[in-house]
Chains A and B, each alone.
Chain A
Amino acid sequence: MAEERLKSATRILTQRGILIAFILFMVGFSVVSDRFMTADNLQAVFRQAAIIGVMALGVTLVVICGNLDLSVGSLLSLSTVLVVDLHDKIGPISAIAVTLLVALAVGAVNGLLVGVARLNSLIVTLGMLSAIQGLTLIYTGGQNVDIQNQDTTWFAIFGRGAILGVPTQILIFVVLAVVMHVVLAHTPFGRRVYASGGNPTAAVFSGIRRGRVVLATYMTSAFCTGIAAIILGSRVMGSQNNVGQGYELLVLSAVILGGTSLLGGSGSIAKTVIGVLILGFIQNGLLLLGFAYYVQWLVTWVVIILAVWLDIAAKRGRMFSPFA
Chain B
Amino acid sequence: MNRKFKQLAGGVSIAFALMGGHAAFADTIKIGITQNNVGVDSYQTTYEKAFKEAAAAESGVETVVLDAGGDVARQIAQVQDLIQQKVNAIIIWPTNGKAVVPAVRKAQAAGIPVIVTNSNIAPEGAEFIASFSGPNNIQQGASAAELMCEALGNKGQIVQISGQPGYTTAIERQKGFEDRLAEACPDVKILETQPGDWNREKSQRVMEAFLVKYDKIDGVYSGDDNMGVGALNAAKAAGRADKIAFVGATNFAVGYEAMERGEYYGSIYQSPVDDAENALKTAIAVVKGEKVPALNYFETPKITKANMKDFTKPVF
Query: A221: CB under 8 A from chain B?
Result: no
Chain B 164-181 interface 0/1 with A at a Cβ cutoff of 8 Å (1 = within): 010000000000000000
Chain A 280-324 interface 0/1 with B at a Cβ cutoff of 8 Å (1 = within): 000110011010111000000000000000000000000000000
Contact of A243 among B38, B39, B201 (CB under 8 A): B201
Query: A130: CB under 8 A from chain B?
Result: no
Which residues does chain B contribute within 8 Å of A144, judged by CB atoms? 41-42, 226, 252, 316
Residue among A142, A236, A287 facing the most chain B CB atoms (10 A cut-off) = A142
A142 touches B42 (CB 8 A): yes
How far, in whole Å, are A51 and B197 apart by their CA atoms in the complex?
19
B200 touches A236 (CB 8 A): yes
Least Cβ–Cβ distance between B238 and chain A, in angstroms: 8
Query: B127: CB under 8 A from chain A?
Result: no
Which residues does chain B contribute within 8 Å of A235, judged by CB atoms? 201, 204, 233
Which residues does chain B contribute within 8 Å of A38, judged by CB atoms? 212
Which residues does chain B contribute within 8 Å of A148, judged by CB atoms? 257
Query: B209: CB under 8 A from chain A?
Result: yes
Query: A237: CB under 8 A from chain B?
Result: yes
B195 touches A287 (CB 8 A): no
Least Cβ–Cβ distance between B294 and chain A, in angstroms: 31
Please provide the chain B residues from 98 to 138 with a CB less than 8 Å away from any CB of chain A in the complex.
none
Residue among A33, A144, A160 facing the most chain B CB atoms (10 A cut-off) = A144
A237 touches B209 (CB 8 A): no
Which residues does chain B contribute within 8 Å of A232, judged by CB atoms? 201
Query: B64: CB under 8 A from chain A?
Result: no
What range describes how many residues of A lie at the interface?
Answer: 20 to 34
A141 touches B39 (CB 8 A): yes
Least Cβ–Cβ distance between A235 and chain B, in angstroms: 7
Which residues does chain B contribute within 8 Å of A48, judged by CB atoms? 205, 208
Query: B6: CB under 8 A from chain A?
Result: no
Contact of A292 among B195, B233, B237, B238 (CB under 8 A): B195
Least Cβ–Cβ distance between A77 and chain B, in angstroms: 11
Query: A44: CB under 8 A from chain B?
Result: yes
How far, in whole Å, are A294 and B196 apart by their CA atoms in the complex?
11
A290 touches B201 (CB 8 A): no
Closest A residue to B194 by beta carbon equals A292
A238 touches B40 (CB 8 A): no
Chain B 220-254 interface 0/1 with A at a Cβ cutoff of 8 Å (1 = within): 00000010011001000110000000000000111
Query: A40: CB under 8 A from chain B?
Result: yes
Which residues does chain B contribute within 8 Å of A283, judged by CB atoms? 205
Chain A 249-279 interface 0/1 with B at a Cβ cutoff of 8 Å (1 = within): 0000000000000000000000000000000
A236 touches B45 (CB 8 A): no
B206 touches A287 (CB 8 A): yes
Query: A16: CB under 8 A from chain B?
Result: no
Given contacts A40-B212, A41-B212, A243-B201, contact A142 B206 (CB under 8 A): no
Least Cβ–Cβ distance between A140 and chain B, in angstroms: 9
Residue among B41, B45, B226 facing the most chain A CB atoms (10 A cut-off) = B41
Closest A residue to B229 by beta carbon equals A238
Given contacts A142-B38, A143-B42, A243-B199, contact A288 B209 (CB under 8 A): yes
B201 touches A288 (CB 8 A): no
Which residues does chain A contribute within 8 Å of B257, judged by CB atoms? 148
Least Cβ–Cβ distance between A138 and chain B, in angstroms: 8
Please provide the chain A residues from 113 to 168 with a CB less than 8 Å away from any CB of chain B in the complex.
137, 141-144, 146, 148, 160
How far, in whole Å, are A290 and B206 apart by their CA atoms in the complex?
10
Closest A residue to B195 by beta carbon equals A292
Which residues does chain B contribute within 8 Å of A236, judged by CB atoms? 200-201, 204, 230, 233
Query: A181: CB under 8 A from chain B?
Result: no
Closest A residue to B206 by beta carbon equals A287
Which residues does chain B contribute within 8 Å of A35, judged by CB atoms? 212-213
A146 touches B230 (CB 8 A): no
Which residues does chain B contribute within 8 Å of A137, judged by CB atoms? 39-40
Contact of B208 among A33, A44, A243 (CB under 8 A): A44
Which residues does chain B contribute within 8 Å of A142, judged by CB atoms? 38-42, 44-45
Residue among A232, A241, A293 facing the most chain B CB atoms (10 A cut-off) = A293
Q: Which residues of B contact A (CB under 8 A)?
A: 38-42, 44-45, 165, 192, 194-195, 197, 199-202, 204-206, 208-209, 211-213, 226, 229-230, 233, 237-238, 252-254, 257, 316
By Cβ-Cβ distance, the 6 closest A-B pairs, closest first, are A142-B45, A142-B39, A287-B209, A41-B212, A143-B42, A44-B208
Given contact pairs A137-B39, A236-B233, A238-B229, enumerate 6 new A-B contacts (beta carbons under 8 Å): A141-B45, A142-B42, A143-B45, A243-B201, A284-B209, A293-B197
- Complex A-B: 11 CB contacts under 8 Å: A41-B212, A142-B41, A144-B226, A236-B200, A237-B233, A238-B200, A240-B226, A287-B206, A288-B213, A292-B195, A293-B194
